[in-house]
Amino acid sequence: MTQKTALISWGGWDGHTPERSANIVRDILEKHDFSVLVGTGTEPFANPDLGEFDLIVPIITMSKIEQAELKNLLQAVRGGTGLAGFHGSMCDSFRNEPDYQFMTGGQWVAHPGDIIDYTVNITKPEDPIMSGISDFPYTSEQYYMHVDPLNEVLATTTFKGTEFEEINGVSIPVVWKRSYGAGRVFYSALGHTADEFDVPQMKTIFQRGALWAAR
């Protein structure tokens, strides 16, 4: 059987510990027999052979991407390369690029209260990505996001309105999967820093989601 290949590229805001997170994701994928290339910034997305990878994991926050790089990335995923990511490292990568956000299915807009305690509610326990995982408490940024209604939502979180009373009781997706052309896209809003991979549910959800997304 041909070995699967993955590209991880990290960069952007250091507060999201992109290099440490990239190393953790590399180790996860290598344990599942992927051949993994780790790069930095957006330059790896210009690779003319980008579409040959089975999986791409961007770990880049609040950055900018050249239009040729973006076009190549979009074409690779539409052609069948999987895309998987987490937190702002995938859904706050390029705020000025709606085509990228259209592919990922969402964009971060707020985290009221910053680091707080909240609950992750599993909405599709029958999905293999969520198998054996029930609702669980979490301490991190609770992401308020703009999301695509086409997303297949696997988990949500409900806001208490402590910071903004008008969002009290609003549920926002935390985990979803979707299609983009022939490519599979997976996203989890969990993972503010690399330390959150120590939470078993967070790590398991991302690991299963990335494996699902891979071609």
At 184 the pLDDT is 99
* pLDDT tens per residue, range 119-140: 999 999 999 999 999 999 999 9
Neighbours of 48 (CB within 10 A): 7
Q: How far apart are CA 46 and CA 200, in angstroms?
A: 34
Query: What number is the average pLDDT over the span 93-115?
Result: 98
At 191 the pLDDT is 98
Q: Are strands 115-122 and 106-110 parallel, antiparallel or unpaired?
A: unpaired
Looking at this protein, which amino acid is placed at residue 202? M
Quote the CATH superfamily of domain 5-213: Class I glutamine amidotransferase (GATase) domain (3.40.50.880)
Q: Where are the domains of the chain?
A: 5-213
Token couple for 91: 């859904």
CB 209 within 8 A of CB 29: no
List the one residue out of 17, 190, 12 whose CA is nearest residue 108.
190
Looking at this protein, which amino acid is placed at residue 105? G
* pLDDT tens per residue, range 23-82: 999 999 999 999 999 999 999 999 999 999 999 999 999 999 999 999 999 999 999 999
At 75 the pLDDT is 98
Looking at the whole model, is its pTM more than 0.95? yes
Query: What number is the average pLDDT over the span 200-213?
Result: 98
Confidence of residue 152 (pLDDT cuts 50, 70, 90): very high
